[in-house]
Amino acid sequence: MALRRCWRYTGAAPRLLWNSTVLPGASVPGGRRSVSSLDSSQPGYKKLLLRRFTSGPPDTDVNYDQLKKLLAERKSVVIDVREPWELREFGVIPGSINIPLGQLNNALQLGPGEFKEKYGGEMPQQTDNIVFSCLAGIRSKIALDTAALLGYKDIQHYPGGWEDWVNKEQQK
């Protein structure tokens, strides 16, 4: 009997979680506290108001100017997750390491020597800042999630990818 009651709600919970925004102090329908009782002076109010459930950490996007600065200061490891033929055909962000997306999970678990031999760069540590890039930002987001699952903390992705990079470089 209890199983039947629970079965009725199995589709509702995932839909509610998927389609709703996380608000501090928000209540479920019928609760005492409403969204209007939130204090907009709370730190991070707007960020929480707009943020939805995601698998990656918050603030993971890097724009062109930020990436240029990170590359110039050598404060970040940029990993391009495109296939090698794409790099030959379209081009490369200078200073990036190429690890195709299909190899990323295994590559980030290699030893430092093996990594350097296979990919030609220093193995990023779990504490290093890593920026993932691809052609247009789709695969780099998947790479971001993969690295997060492997325990990497300071990870970001360049959503504009190579297309944005080459457009901005041509404008200069």
Degrees, nearest 5: CA angle 158-66-167 = 60
Active site residue 134: yes
Mark out the alpha helices in the chain (DSSP H runs): 2-7, 12-19, 45-50, 64-73, 84-90, 101-107, 112-119, 138-149, 161-171
For 27, list phi and psi in degrees, rounded to 5: -120, 165
User: Can you tell me the distance from the alpha carbon of 136 to that of 146, in angstroms, rounded to the nearest whole number?
Assistant: 18
Catalytic residue among 67, 77, 134, 147: 134
Identity of the residue numbered 152: Y
Q: Which residues are catalytic?
A: 134
